Amino acid sequence: MSGHQNPYLQLFKVPGAKSFSISAALARLPMSMISLGIVLAINHLYGNWTSAGTLSAVYVISAAVATPVFARLFDRYGQRVVGRVALPLSVITLAAFAASILFRFPMGSLYVMAILMGLTQFSFGALVRTRWTWVLRRDSENSPETKTKMLASAYSFESAVDELIYVIGPVLATFLATAVHPVSQLFVPLIALAIGGTVFFALRSAAAPAMKVEEVHVERSAEIPYAPTVSNETVEQEEIRHSRRHSRRSPIALMRTMKTRTALGFPGMLLVVASFTVFSMSFSAYDVCLVAMTKEQGQEYIVGVVMATMACGSLVGALIYGSRQWRGSLWVRYLLCLTILTLGFIAFTFVRGNLLVLCIMQFIIGLFVSPTFATCNMIIEDSVPGVYLTEGLSWLSTASAVGSSLGSTLAGVLIDQSGVAAGFSIPWVAVLATVIIVLVFRSGLLRSLFKGRRSITA
């Protein structure tokens, strides 16, 4: 891929890429509408903010528990096989939950339905990123270096799609709840999930296969004593990737790593998931603070626009990030993005009284949000073999859900007790804590920054 070629045009020349990316984007609409849709529907029909919030939280936590489980099934048995069962279950439970609210079932039954709905959710974001990895890695026309660059662009593009969904979803949910019907904002994502999911799983040419883990007997001197295998191409891919990352590790240590039963057992995974959980507290806490602040100022009606400015900046940042070829350690890149976001959240506390200035700063800082997410996904892609990739990527969705729940809860408590100004401290403290966690557990990062090392071994 030459330097003058647009990396996104190159991406969508890949057979089947447009179809699976667009269908996955449509199927992801629920992630930006369901939680807010629950709050709006319950408040409109039941008149209870507390139940609305707790019901939404129950759904989010249930989905966070189920997502890695489904991901392991997708990795083990293949996307199409599991999707035939998982998608109808998800659609049916979402339809049942929406209907239960529509016909005003007792609140106790709604909690049961919310749990069931959450337990049938899975991450289309992880599925589409796994599919990108599969179609790009199997491409025989490009060099390994070109494939890696294209994969980084693909992950950045999907981060941009996520941000676009989070710009459109809340606005659409609010409009439907107020202008159409208080429950319509639950049925629209249901339709999007059914259509997008059906098309996504029906695409045979780009579907990632089932991944079967087998022991491979090799000579004692070989660097890869144990490798996940699916086909000759996948074996070669795994050997190249793991010999590059683990060539300095002992065969016994490597064997233990490869025989782990979960993606969390691979080097770096626990740190990524733990740090991302703390990091995710910042955005949900910040959103709660924005709502409280605009309400306090009598401008609650524009809170959606204020929130959208950071998402727009993140969307632009994702497209810019994916269009360039970045060198050096992914962990260093992650740390730099976190540091900039920390400074940004601190700056927000000083300009929050001027919404125009705040929106401008949010857009600028938002440029670094999607690159942070994309880098985390790339770290996971670089840390786990293909047989665990969907599960590994799905752990970020779980971390985000858990962190978001903690952040919004903590912000609400602090605002009630100490006021909006105190609540604005949570976002920057959360991101600063993430920086500290990464530095403590990746002690070589500072040396890498100052000495210019290009990679950090796992």
pLDDT attached to residue 225:
32
Q: In order of start, what are the domains of the chain with their CATH numbers?
A: 15-209 (1.20.1250.20), 212-259 (no CATH), 263-458 (1.20.1250.20)
Instruction: Give the C-alpha separation, 270 to 264, whole Å.
Output: 6
| Amino acid 198: pLDDT | 96
The pair of structure tokens assigned to 436 is 């500290």
Which are the contacts of 390, defined by CB distance < 8 A and separation ≥ 6?
71, 72, 74, 75, 79, 126, 127, 130, 208
Which residue type is seen at 211? M
Look at residues 387, 390, 384 and name the one whose alpha carbon lies nearest to residue 213. 387
Phi/psi of residue 111, nearest 5 degrees: -65, -40
Instruction: Identify the CA nearest to 199 among candidates 16, 324, 46.
Output: 16
What distance in Å separates the CA atoms of residue 92 and residue 142, rounded to the nearest whole number? 42
Q: Longest C-alpha distance within the chain, in Å?
A: 72
Q: Is 425 exposed, middle or buried (0-12, 13-18, 19+ CB in 10 A)?
A: middle
Closest C-alpha among 424, 240, 262 to residue 345: 424
Give the model confidence (pLDDT) of 298-313 as tens digits: 886 777 788 888 989 9
148-157 burial string, b = 16+ CB within 10 Å, else e?
A: bbbbbbbbbb
Q: Which residues pair with 228 in a beta bridge?
A: 213
CA distances from 269 to 298, 395, 399 (A): 44, 9, 12
On the CB side of 120, CA atoms within 13 Å amount to 23
Average pLDDT for runs of 10 along the chain of length 458: 68 89 95 85 80 82 91 91 96 97 95 95 92 82 77 89 86 84 94 96 73 42 35 40 42 42 82 93 86 80 80 90 83 93 95 91 94 91 85 88 83 84 93 94 68 45
In sequence order, the β-bridge partners of residue 212 are 229
Q: What is the CB neighbour count within 10 angstroms for residue 1?
A: 16
What letter represents residue 399's amino acid?
Answer: A
- CA–CA dist 214, 110 (Å, integer): 44
**Which DSSP letter does residue 176 get?**
I
CB 12 within 8 A of CB 22: no
Question: pTM of the entire structure?
Answer: 0.76
Structure tokens at 127: 């599925």
Eight-state DSSP code of residue 329: -
Pick from 279, 288, 303, 271: nearest CA to 416: 288
Query: Both tokens of residue 73?
Result: 């099934």
